[in-house]
Structure 1
Amino acid sequence: MGESPDPPVRVRLLREVLQRPAHDAELIAATEALDRSSHVRVLLDEQRDDGSWGRFHTKDYAAKQKIGRTEKGVQRAVELGLPRSHTVLRKVRTYLEAVLKGRVQIPDRAERHANWPTGVAMFAGAMLSTFAPESSALDETWEFWSSVVRRSFATGRHDLDAELQAHRQILGRSGKPAWMRLHSKYVVMVLGSRAERLPPDVEAAYVRWLWEDCPKGLVYVDVPLDQYPQKLRGWRLHAWLRLLELLSAFPSSRPSAEPAIKRLLSARNREGLWDFGIQPSCPRFSDNYRRKGVTAHDWTTRVTCLLSRYLAE
Structure 2
Amino acid sequence: MAHGDTIGGFEKTPGWLDWYEGPSTPTFRLPAGAVDAHCHVFGPGVEFPYAPERKYTPCDASAQQLFSLRDHLGFERNVIVQATCHGADNRALLDALRRSGGRARGVATVRRDVTEDELKELHAAGVRGVRFNFVKRLVDRPPTESLEEIVAKIAPLGWHVVIYFEAEDLPELYDFFSNIPTDVVVDHMGRPDVTKSPDGPEFALFLQFMRGNANVWTKVSCPERLSVTGPRALPEDVARSQRLAYTDVVPFARRVVEEFPDRVLWGTDWPHPNLKDHMPDDGLLVDYIPQIATTPELQRKLLVDNPHRLYWRD
Q: Which has the higher strand share?
A: 2
- Structure that is richer in helix per residue: 1
Please give the TM-score of this superposition, normalised by the length of structure 2.
Answer: 0.29
Greater Rg by CA? 1
TM-score for both structures, normalised by structure 1: 0.29
